[in-house]
Structure 1
């Protein structure tokens, strides 16, 4: 009874039916590994675009740098080479990835050494410390990218993975840390890049092992067995530390989440306000600066007793009261909090503007349709194309002709039409009559724009070529 169901599942989740030819996949992987010519120029431009985006705190520019960055090539090459037992491909992938990462850090450091804008924005600060979600995105996104990379038809999966896994911005953030001597920023950004690269390569390795791809040919079985053992050892050595680091990140993220909730619920008391909070998961410390009403020692003991209820049994809570206790670390934390709040408010404002703009555009289209007596341009285009298939584009507008003295102004409905080829006069007249009837007998003027695909006029043949043709 379960066999048909298993066959149905296998047919639904089969990855081999639309897989590209293995030779094409290998050629694409080889083209992405090399950093010379086009790939090298694109790498330099992606570095500069990402550095500018981080410098001016522009999310759109950073996304553009992720899209054009060629860093996915050698990472995919390492995972694919390990899955197909190609020692040379793995070696070249690791070499080129190291060169590309080093160039990215150095070029971005050079940029941040000369730019007049030296403040760290929210986009840059977001790349200084990996979280649990970064690890999950790298693993699942890498698996999706591996599947999309091996398909016959090109899809938007690989560009989406480039955006989701964010390889170039962490390297440019490391360059910022190198240029400004923020070693914690540099270490955290490189840590994030290494985790992303390791999990993307691991996902590519696992997907490629599932697919029916030919293995690299060796001279003898002993050499093949040795190479496979080496690849599995490298995969395990890569996966085990990555999983360990991912588990540590999960623990740190959980601690930070519980600590944030504890501060929000237990220390926001009437008359007392939280100015800054410094949460260090590695040291399991919570350092809070309060202002306003002073808390008594008994109140502080009661608050510390509540730590266990938030799964923070061994956490150390330090509460400083009064702005006189403000230090440089508090100033940096306050500045970071203000930047995050400003970025969140800007995103909400822009989302509200986009929604309002869409509503206004819809309202204007509806008002135009009501005044002309015709439906929306999209609907009218479909109706016109039913009788005139050569029509490709259509636009509506109202032409108001001011009247003299006290006479009422006349309004003419203008319909602009673009066709694939010139419209005959009889067909144009019939279309004008139909539009006038559709508009309720309002005056309609048909504006025929030049054909979308007009052929250029033929050039006259010179007399010498004519004589040569007659000969």
Structure 2
């Protein structure tokens, strides 16, 4: 058996049987399951399109997709192919249904466009993986302890299985494959992390094979494979996080450098800054609103300041919008 370093108290045979029966029943791919998945997908899709956090949370509470994920873990630990296969069928069909519903609703919704709640689900980081690991462990433990059942709604929110699926559908409906791709990565990270964490908890609670060394070895191999998948999925998450941090640092540096060049210029503001890297050269375009006459020498001054700070070649374009200021003095009373 896996060493129980956490001191988790194992369940007795009756308790384990009850958990097995409840998870097996909750993971059955029947009409009730798919009906709830469809309804939760509708709620989540409109919550995301409306940028409404409360509605999205409601969708998480309605969605029944967490139970099949926990059943996958339990089936893998038990070596129960029937439970594993049935849970996999329910999860895969539920995933496809949620994506199809979200795609269709997005295609039918007039003026549908990306919102903040959609975009934040397209750039997963290792922190999302850590949250999913903790939520998966909490879900398995709470499902196994009847007195902790009141925490399950909160765990359903923390695991956030459904919103990434709705985001995938929205991305497909908007023909924004960058949105769909980022959401796929987030969903896979959540799924793998929940399976790994819940499998460990189920093992510690005594669900693993007890008498067969062969079965125990097979279960350990399945856990190793899960850990490998967890490591593999963490690689792109780390890459995305590093890129995001570098992008934020670059944005801040460019803004601060340009703003430093207009100090002392009254009524002058930088209204917009756009930049992109092309063939190793950072192309920066800035729009300045000012009453002062700026010339090409000012543009060169901005460019030199950026190159000195960034230590890289910069192509700079300055768009000047002339501002006329009228001062009207108050008449004496």
TM-score, L = length of structure 2: 0.78
Deviations 1:121-158 (A, max 9, x none): 22222222223432222122222222222213144433
Q: Secondary structure at 1:306's aligned position in 2?
A: helix
Inter-partner Cα distance in structure 1 for 2:66 and 2:275: 35
The corresponding residue for 1:290 is 286
Inter-partner Cα distance in structure 2 for 1:73 and 1:131: 25
* Cα shift at 1:217: 8.0
* Cα shift at 1:277: 4.4
Aligned equivalent of 2:119, options 114, 118, 125: 125
Inter-partner Cα distance in structure 2 for 1:54 and 1:108: 10
Deviations 1:405-460 (A, max 9, x none): xxxxxxxxxxxxxxxxxxxxxxxxxxxxxxxxxxxxxxxxxxxxxxxxxxxxxxxx
Inter-partner Cα distance in structure 2 for 1:306 and 1:263: 9
Q: Does the aligned pair in 2 maintain the 1:21–1:152 contact within 8 Å?
A: no
Q: Secondary structure at 2:287's aligned position in 1?
A: strand
Q: Secondary structure at 1:273's aligned position in 2?
A: strand
Once the two structures are superposed, the pairs formed by residues 160-239 of structure 1 within 5 Å of their partners are: 160-215=154-209, 222=214, 224=215, 227-228=218-219, 230-239=221-230
* Cα shift at 1:316: 7.4
Aligned equivalent of 1:113, options 107, 113, 120: 107
Aligned equivalent of 2:238, options 231, 238, 247: 247
Aligned equivalent of 1:49, options 24, 43, 60: 43
Deviations 1:297-322 (A, max 9, x none): 354344334347xxxxxx87664432
Aligned equivalent of 1:80, options 55, 71, 74: 74
The corresponding residue for 1:322 is 319
The corresponding residue for 1:306 is 309
Q: Secondary structure at 1:116's aligned position in 2?
A: coil
- C-alpha change, 1:169 and 1:130, in structure 2 (3 Å) is same
Q: Choose between structure 1 and 2 for higher RCO, CA contacts under 8 A separated by at least 6 residues.
A: 2
Inter-partner Cα distance in structure 2 for 1:304 and 1:146: 54
The corresponding residue for 1:16 is 9
Gap runs ≥5 in structure 1: 1-9, 309-314, 325-471
Gap runs ≥5 in structure 2: 263-267, 289-293, 322-333
Inter-partner Cα distance in structure 1 for 2:314 and 2:200: 44
Inter-partner Cα distance in structure 2 for 1:163 and 1:285: 44
Q: Secondary structure at 1:290's aligned position in 2?
A: strand
* Cα shift at 1:187: 1.2
- C-alpha change, 1:259 and 1:133, in structure 2 (3 Å) is farther
Inter-partner Cα distance in structure 1 for 2:314 and 2:187: 32
Q: Which one has the largest radius of gyration?
A: 1
The corresponding residue for 1:96 is 90
- C-alpha change, 1:286 and 1:56, in structure 2 (3 Å) is farther
Once the two structures are superposed, the pairs formed by residues 345-384 of structure 1 within 5 Å of their partners are: none
> Cα RMSD (Å) of the superposition?
3.2
- C-alpha change, 1:200 and 1:268, in structure 2 (3 Å) is farther
The corresponding residue for 1:58 is 52
Q: Secondary structure at 1:322's aligned position in 2?
A: strand
Inter-partner Cα distance in structure 1 for 2:59 and 2:129: 21
Deviations 1:372-415 (A, max 9, x none): xxxxxxxxxxxxxxxxxxxxxxxxxxxxxxxxxxxxxxxxxxxx
